[in-house]
Chains A and B, each alone.
Chain A
């Protein structure tokens, strides 16, 4: 499956992803409705957009007392079935990354569903910080930097080695 990969070093905090997500859901631009949220770390001069990573064994799925959180077999997304959600909020408390929110109009939980396989947040990301990539390839930039560190450590980057 493909997931939304986040590269914090590229994010410029334009919050377009939040606007795109809110608009996709409601037809309006209230970023409080967004499922993706940009987190700010002023001291570290960092900003990190964050959304559901569609965990392999999602605690939200397991704990949902209504059996309303299921994996979409086509996109692999962990989705909430609004018709079966009772609005008990157990999933809000279960998600360790705060990626599930409450729809105050419908009184049910809501979360990223990868827009059915074409996420709006990625489409409207201005800096390339969000990429829609195969799970296995996600965060390869992290591995590259790790690889580089290892190479440096073992002197593999020295010319002639």
Chain B
């Protein structure tokens, strides 16, 4: 049974190892548009700010593929998927047949429709080559504008600041990290960011980018004087890579909708990771997270089912964590107050600590933690409660480290 996996990152690799743990025999071809062995996208900002050496970015060695009996096609794009004849066409014209196919093509950065933004000196922090490019441009004294304030955008801002650049962050919405933090947490983090000398402007509408004769970028905004910078880093979200399915019967709707077995509407064709829209722990049927842990879970489920098992996915639970500007930022699940929800909050903003658990009828559904890494551990312990929809009567006790596991251990 010929297996083809398109994608050499979290989802593809996770599927690969799960498949191989069940099926040692079937031939597997792994295709990736990027050349070289797998690297970790999560680690790119850590390299950029020199927390880790370049070689630590790589999470597979060439021999890892050969030892697992994998044929690799790196540095080549898949142009078309023919579901009738079960063949792929590569951009160099070659065709590859498949019995089962996994599409784990990931996503790419979104470039907001701002006049003049597309062009020279505008970068992303998404791929290894993006990172290498930024690395060569990060020189002390250079001025950088970061458009967006999500995880990647702020990590890029922190790396740039740490490397001696003068950094400004623009966020269109009225708080930073709008999809990761609530208002209060965002305010605490914003203060930390500003303490590091990074200028943060929220609720700012970027109107146009002009290129001056001196080679600078002049950024025009509504209601503010123009800002001159040497480079712009755009971190404004990602979009799924689905072009290879254009014209195929595989359904596309802001990504590839998959069922709980990670299978698309076409039998034998699976999707996982940023490109897939799978079920969530909250009962939503099709949701994209574009998060590493979700991609790993997707891949694991897809790999098992491609190998003939019948393993349903219990649904993704979004989780995010990083340390930046000297503070740990973590969130998961649904963490914004709403009607019918209660919240339990520890607010010690003076010590830069903020923890919030959101509950629906006593069942935790999400949390935010800012401050020390110890609160991240508490959030980790909360995950099984959210997943298994277990009622948590004593939230205060839980936050103090009680209630070990959602089972009755005592």
Segment touching B, from A13-21, A72-80, A85-93, A143-151: A85-93
Given A89-B373, A96-B383; A65-B405 close (CB under 8 Å):
no
Segment touching B, from A42-50, A118-126, A153-161: A42-50
Cβ contact within 8 Å between A39 and B404: yes
Report the separation of the CA atoms of residues A98 and B56 in the bound assembly, to the nearest whole angstrom: 26
Given A40-B402, A63-B293; A93-B409 close (CB under 8 Å):
no
Q: Does A102 touch B at the CB level, under 8 Å?
A: yes
Given A41-B402, A48-B404, A87-B46; A63-B296 close (CB under 8 Å):
yes
Chain A residues whose C-beta falls within 8 Å of the C-beta of B321 in the assembled complex: 88-90, 92-93
Q: Does B192 touch A at the CB level, under 8 Å?
A: no
Chain A residues whose C-beta falls within 8 Å of the C-beta of B41 in the assembled complex: 65
For this complex, into which size category does the number of interface residues on chain B fall? 35 or more
Q: Does A95 touch B at the CB level, under 8 Å?
A: yes
Total A-B pairs, Cβ < 8 A: 110
Nearest residue (CB) in B for A97 is B405
Cβ contact within 8 Å between B404 and A94: no
Identify A62's interface contact among B46, B296, B330, B373, CB under 8 A: B296
Nearest residue (CB) in A for B293 is A63
CB proximity to A under 8 Å, residues B55-99: 56, 59-60
Cβ contact within 8 Å between A65 and B43: yes
Cβ contact within 8 Å between B410 and A88: no
Chain B residues whose C-beta falls within 8 Å of the C-beta of A93 in the assembled complex: 319, 321, 330, 332, 376, 379-380, 383
Report the separation of the CA atoms of residues A98 and B205 in the bound assembly, to the nearest whole angstrom: 42
Shortest CB distance B356–A (Å): 15
Cβ contact within 8 Å between A98 and B381: yes
Q: Does B116 touch A at the CB level, under 8 Å?
A: no
Nearest residue (CB) in B for A38 is B401
Report the separation of the CA atoms of residues A8 and B52 in the bound assembly, to the nearest whole angstrom: 41
Cβ contact within 8 Å between A102 and B404: no
Q: Does B221 touch A at the CB level, under 8 Å?
A: no
Report the separation of the CA atoms of residues A19 and B42 in the bound assembly, to the nearest whole angstrom: 35
Nearest residue (CB) in A for B43 is A86
- Report the count of interface residues on A (CB-CB < 8 A): 33
Shortest CB distance B67–A (Å): 15
Report the separation of the CA atoms of residues A62 and B292 in the bound assembly, to the nearest whole angstrom: 11
Q: Does A37 touch B at the CB level, under 8 Å?
A: yes
Cβ contact within 8 Å between A97 and B292: no
Given A62-B296, A90-B293; A95-B380 close (CB under 8 Å):
yes
Cβ contact within 8 Å between B377 and A100: yes
Q: Does B32 touch A at the CB level, under 8 Å?
A: no
Chain B residues whose C-beta falls within 8 Å of the C-beta of A96 in the assembled complex: 380-381, 383-384, 405
CB proximity to B under 8 Å, residues A91-113: 92-98, 100-102, 104, 107
Cβ contact within 8 Å between B410 and A41: yes
Report the separation of the CA atoms of residues A149 and B383 in the bound assembly, to the nearest whole angstrom: 32
Identify A90's interface contact among B60, B292, B378, B381, CB under 8 A: B292
Shortest CB distance A54–B (Å): 16
CB proximity to A under 8 Å, residues B283-307: 292-293, 296, 300
Chain A residues whose C-beta falls within 8 Å of the C-beta of B381 in the assembled complex: 95-98
Q: Does A84 touch B at the CB level, under 8 Å?
A: yes
Cβ contact within 8 Å between A66 and B376: no
Q: Does A128 touch B at the CB level, under 8 Å?
A: no
Cβ contact within 8 Å between B40 and A65: yes
Identify B292's interface contact among A8, A37, A48, A65, CB under 8 A: A65
Shortest CB distance B52–A (Å): 5
Chain B residues whose C-beta falls within 8 Å of the C-beta of A98 in the assembled complex: 377-378, 380-381, 401, 404
Given A67-B40, A89-B321, A92-B321; A102-B373 close (CB under 8 Å):
yes
CB proximity to B under 8 Å, residues A19-68: 37, 39-41, 44, 46, 48, 50, 62-63, 65-67
Cβ contact within 8 Å between B59 and A67: yes
Given A63-B292, A102-B373; A89-B56 close (CB under 8 Å):
no
Q: Which of B59, B300, B377, B379 has the most CB of A within 10 A?
A: B377
User: Could you pull out 21 A-B pairs where Cβ atoms are within 8 angstroms?
Assistant: A8-B410, A39-B404, A63-B292, A65-B41, A65-B59, A66-B42, A66-B43, A84-B56, A86-B42, A86-B46, A86-B51, A87-B46, A88-B42, A88-B46, A88-B321, A93-B383, A94-B319, A95-B377, A96-B383, A97-B381, A101-B374
Residues of B within 8 A of A (CB): 10, 14, 40-43, 46, 51-52, 56, 59-60, 292-293, 296, 300, 319, 321-323, 328, 330, 332, 373-374, 376-381, 383-384, 401-402, 404-405, 409-410
Residues of A within 8 A of B (CB): 8, 37, 39-41, 44, 46, 48, 50, 62-63, 65-67, 83-84, 86-90, 92-98, 100-102, 104, 107
